[in-house]
Chain A
Amino acid sequence: MNSSFWTVVGFTAKNKIRGKAFLITTLIIAVIMSIAINLPYIISQFSGEGKPTAVGYLDSNIEKAKSNLFTHTRIAAMLNDYYAKQEKPELKLVPIPDAGSAEANEKALKQAVADDEIQGYIEFSPGKESGFPAITYKSESLMESKVSASLSAALQVVKMEAVIGGGGLSEEVKALLTKPIELESVQISTVEGAGSIGQGKTKEQQGMDFGTVYVIIIMLFMAIMISGQMIASEITAEKSSRVMEILITSVAPLKAMFGKIFGMFLVVLLQMAIYIVVIVINMTLPQNADKLGELGIKLSDVDPVLLTYSLVFFLTGYFLFATLFAAVGSIVSRTEDLGQAVMPITMLSLAGFYICIFGGMNNPGSMLMKVCSFIPFFSPYAMVSRLGLSDPPLWQVWLSILILLATILAAGWLSAKIYRAGVLMYGKKPSLKELGKAMRAYK
């Protein structure tokens, strides 16, 4: 009885995996992933990150002659001192010789940027009230937040040091003054929930939860998108090549359909496993491992409870969408019409994904997320985000799972009927009425 189911599973998976398309897509995506992970390192190799960014300033003769505390040249010198003391200097200030007139100076500075001698330059203008001048950072790129943030912090320190330098403050007091304020937000739970928050987790663990949720949601989305299309197009291809007629005279339609879905699931799992291996290998490469350490990513921090729930939602979500794709594939007779026909299901999956990535990740406790976590097509995404990022009550989680399971059963039953009826309807896409009639015919 079950042997023919496994025969279908094996045939589906084997043919897909042995196909060139599978090999090529997997390879291409694996390469893209490797490049993406190594991109920061590659860029740093090219741009010579680690070396300080060169920022120019006008080595003005007039300013040098002044005796104020904050002449332009003195500020630049103090900044240079500040950066020189850093372990890895972020910036270095490069004096551009005075060319005489204001216009000639500007030209010289711009020329220096054009020649890649400096990344950008700072310009001084008289400050509004204090004796400290206002400073503009000019560069070719639109948003140099990194440089300007660094400059701003450095200037603050430099200014303070200069001002209090003569005030006879001890090093201790100075350190106290410059030390940043610590503010940490900790989430608590008021009721016992199934979520992973509220058990006194460290920030790193919370970060890992966030990461787990992110990965699961993206994996679910990818699995549905990749294999949903494959399931639908395989069934349509079987229909258009008329293998279907022989197939359903040999095996029960329900088995044929679920065998195909399950076979495809194995293919997707294999594909995902390959990607995960590629990611892990890349992440453990020495140059990337440092970066991960800095971010505090440790696999041992993954919450097993969250992972288990996530897998449950991953599986249920996958099979729900897969049965729908199978049903659509069996209605369409030509592969050309398939794209249009699967659109509603693709949209449904896309909607769930977007709601969670953009609505749920920031605000997992919102009403939108609560409602969505009970709507079957959104709940695999929504409930996983809530589980990872907030603290939903246990009964809600199980209710959501039950609703999902019930929907899968209903969708599976309906899809099997559509499959049975649809596979023999050729020609134009059948109307709902025709389909209903055909379905009633196969009791």
Chain B
Amino acid sequence: MNALSVERIFKQYGDKTAVNGISFDVAPGEIYGLLGANGAGKTTTMRMVLGLIYPDSGTIRYEGKSYGKEQLQGLGYLPEERGLYPKVKVSDQIIYLAQLRGMSRRDADQNLRYWLERFGVPEYYGKKVEELSKGNQQKIQFIAAVIHRPRIVIMDEAFSGLDPVNVELLKSTVKELRDSGSSILFSTHRMEHVEELCRNITILHRSNPVLQGNLKAIKKRFPRERIILGTEDDVKGLEKVGGVMNVKRHEYGYELLINDEAAGRPVLELALAQTNVNRFEIMEPTLNEIFIKTVGESHE
């Protein structure tokens, strides 16, 4: 059974449609990516999943059941903006939030200490949130979202405002959560995070789901149209090979744009005939390219 299943939900604000009939399923132990430009409807979708706002139509099911108090306690939420009491001690407010989600005080305290240790910041236990840096506040926010071992975690721009070291730290934690069976609904602008973490994605554009499905399958659907060629010496006549649209000269060699994957073989042969080849790859389209293509296309 799917941990979370969203079926054709609509939400309108006045005469503006915020979410237009999006459906998706998140399996247990899966990270689901929700992508889209600013204002595409990601946050609205997440808020509906959280029960903060109700969809005008459509259903959301949590492990097959509809929204209720029990489901509420099985949810964890990492909001895009900080949602902590600035003047309250970390321990006080995290334990408070955990208690509200049905945890006992002792368990909450134990878990908090574990997580602080895990993030290498046990000294923050008695500090006020306003005394911490933005990145460290984000860590506390993360703890607040997962301390009660939720079955479904909703993360809105989880890694914004973090330095690369902390991004890696949180990323590995997210993967651990996934491996322990939690389902994660994940939104971001950073495509490389999605490629690394998500199995299935939905790209939202202006409230509409424009591209949806398994990440690998989606990538297969888009033609491979880039060749990276690393050579020792210059190669002449690459632009004359059939199917090659454009040749860019880089320090390591060449980047070629092609309109036909069949152009790969003649390109490699031409290069080998002239010099040694260090690297040759017909590149899969990056999610970034797919995103820009999809969102850009529907612009027209």
> Which residues in A have some Cβ–Cβ distance to B below 8 Å?
3-4, 7-8, 11, 14-15, 19, 238, 241-252, 424, 441-443
Binding site for A on B (CB under 8 A): 47, 50-54, 69, 72-73, 75, 77, 79, 81-88, 92-93, 96-97, 99-102, 144
24 contacts between A and B (CB under 8 A): A4-B100, A4-B102, A14-B92, A15-B92, A19-B87, A238-B85, A241-B82, A241-B83, A242-B79, A242-B82, A242-B83, A243-B84, A243-B85, A243-B93, A245-B47, A245-B50, A245-B52, A245-B83, A249-B50, A249-B52, A249-B77, A250-B72, A250-B101, A252-B69
Would A424 and B100 count as touching, CB distance under 8 A? Answer: no
Bound Cα distance A4, B97 (Å):
10
On whether A251 and B100 interact (CB within 8 A), knowing A15-B88, A441-B54, the answer reads yes
Structural contact, A246 and B82, CB atoms closer than 8 A: no
- Chain A residues contacting B96 (CB-CB under 8 Å) are 7, 11
7 nearest A-B pairs in the assembled complex, by CB-CB distance: A242-B83, A250-B100, A246-B83, A251-B100, A11-B96, A7-B99, A243-B83
Query: Which residue in chain A gives the minimum CB-CB distance to B14?
Result: A437
Q: Which residues of chain B are near A242, meaning CB under 8 Å?
A: 79, 81-83
Residues of A within 8 A of B47 (CB): 245, 424
The smallest C-beta distance from A4 to any residue of chain B, in angstroms, reads 5
Q: Give the residue name and chain of the A residue nearest to B86 (CB).
A: A241
Residues of B within 8 A of A241 (CB): 82-86
Alpha-carbon gap, A246 to B73, bound state (A): 11
Q: Is the CB of B72 within 8 A of A249?
A: yes
Tell me, in angstroms, the Cα distance from A227 to B88 when the chains sit together.
19
B56 closest partner in A (C-beta)? A441
Contact assessment for B100 and A245 in the assembled complex, using a CB-CB cutoff below 8 Å: no
A442 to chain B, nearest CB (A): 7
Q: How far, in angstroms, from A97 to B100 measured CA to CA in the complex?
A: 86
B77 and chain A: residue at smallest CB distance: A249
Minimal beta-carbon separation of A334 from chain B (angstroms)? 14
Which A residues are in CB contact (< 8 Å) with B75? 249
Say yes or no: A246 contacts B99, CB within 8 Å.
no
Q: Which of B53, B82, B85, B144 has the most CB of A within 10 A?
A: B85
Contacts of A248 in B (CB 8 A): 52
When distances are taken between beta carbons in the complex, the residues of chain B under 8 Å from A238 are 85
Across the interface, do A246 and B144 meet the contact criterion of CB distance under 8 Å?
yes
CA distance A244 to B102 in the complex (A): 18
Nearest B residue to A251, CB-CB = B100
Contact, CB under 8 Å: B79 / A441: no
Q: B97 near A246 (CB under 8 angstroms)?
A: yes
Residues of A within 8 A of B93 (CB): 243
B66 to nearest A CB, angstroms?
14
Minimum CB–CB distance from B89 to chain A (whole Å) comes to 9
A443 to B69, CA, bound (A): 16
Chain A residues with Cβ under 8 A from B51's Cβ?
Answer: 249
Contact B99 A4 (CB under 8 A): yes
Set of chain A residues within 8 Å of B144, measured between Cβ atoms? 246
Q: List, in ascending order, chain B residues with CB within 8 A of A250's CB.
A: 72-73, 97, 100-101
Task: List chain A residues, Cβ under 8 A from B53.
Answer: 424, 441
Task: Quote the shortest CB–CB distance from A347 to chain B (angstroms).
Answer: 30
CA distance in complex: A424, B51 (Å): 12
State A443–B54 Cα separation when bound (angstroms): 9
* A3, A7, A245, A250, most chain B CB atoms within 10 A: A250
Bound CA span A213–B77, Å: 50
Contact partner of B79 (CB less than 8 A), chosen from A11, A245, A251, A252, is: A245
Chain B residues with CB under 8 A of A441: 53-54
Given contacts A4-B102, A442-B54, 5 further A-B contacts (CB under 8 A): A7-B99, A241-B82, A241-B84, A243-B93, A246-B79
Nearest A-chain residue to B98, judged by Cβ: A250
Give min CB distance, A222 to chain B, whole Å.
25
B100 and A7 contacting across the interface, CB-CB below 8 Å: yes
Residues from chain B with Cβ under 8 Å of A247 in the complex: 97, 100
Complex CA gap A399/B293 in Å reads: 70
Q: How far is the CA of A247 from the CA of B86 in the complex (A)?
A: 15
Q: In the complex, which residues of chain A have a beta carbon less than 8 angstroms from the beta carbon of B100?
A: 4, 7-8, 247, 250-251
Query: Bound state CA distance, A108 and B102, in angstroms?
Result: 86
Bound-complex Cα distance A213 to B269 (A): 102
Complex Cα distance, B52 from A251, in Å, reads 11
- For residue B151, give the distance in angstroms from its CB to the closest CB of chain A: 14
A234 to B, closest residue via Cβ? B85
Question: A443 vs B67: C-alpha distance in the bound complex, in angstroms?
Answer: 14
Q: Which residues of A contact B85 (CB under 8 A)?
A: 15, 238, 241, 243
Chain A residues closer than 8 Å to B84, beta-carbon distance: 241, 243
State the Cβ distance, A376 to closest chain B Cβ, in Å. 32
CA distance A252 to B102 in the complex (A): 13
* Nearest CB on A from B156, distance (A): 10
Contacts of B73 in A (CB 8 A): 250
Q: In the docked arrangement, what's the CA distance between A248 and B93, Å?
A: 15
A441→B10 CA distance, assembly (Å): 13
Closest Cβ neighbor of B129 among chain A residues: A241
Across the interface, B52 reaches (CB within 8 A) one of A4, A19, A424, A443, namely A424
A268 to chain B, nearest CB (A): 20
| Chain A min CB distance to B198 (Å) | 23
Chain B residues in 8 Å Cβ range of A243: 83-85, 93
Give, as a whole number of angstroms, the nearest-CB distance from A275 to chain B: 25
A248 to B81, CA, bound (A): 16
Task: Give the residue name and chain of the B residue nearest to A244 (CB).
Answer: B83
**Closest approach, in angstroms, between the C-beta of B157 and any C-beta of chain A?**
13
Question: For the complex, what is the distance from the CA of A424 to the CA of B144, rounded to whole Å?
Answer: 20
What residues of A have a CB within 8 angstroms of the CB of B50 in the complex?
A: 245, 249
Most interface-central of A244, A245, A249 (chain B CB within 10 A): A249
- Closest B residue to A21 using CB positions: B87
Tell me the complex Cα distance, A250–B96, Å. Answer: 10
Q: Which B residues lie within 8 Å of A15 (CB)?
A: 85, 88, 92
Q: Which residues of A contact B52 (CB under 8 A)?
A: 245, 248-249, 424
Min distance, Cβ A9 to any Cβ of chain B, angstroms = 11
* A360, chain B: closest CB distance, angstroms: 41
Say how far B100's CB is from chain A's closest CB, in angstroms: 4
Query: How far does the alpha carbon of A19 sit from the alpha carbon of B50 in the complex, in Å?
Result: 32
A185, B285: Cα distance in complex, Å:
99
A247 to B75, CA, bound (A): 12
Closest to A7 in B: B99
How many angstroms from the CA of A244 to the CA of B299 in the assembled complex? 36
> Which residues of A have CB within 8 Å of B79?
242, 245-246
Q: Which residues of A contact B82 (CB under 8 A)?
A: 241-242
Query: CA A245 – CA B84 in complex, angstroms?
Result: 10
CA distance A8 to B93 in the complex (A): 11
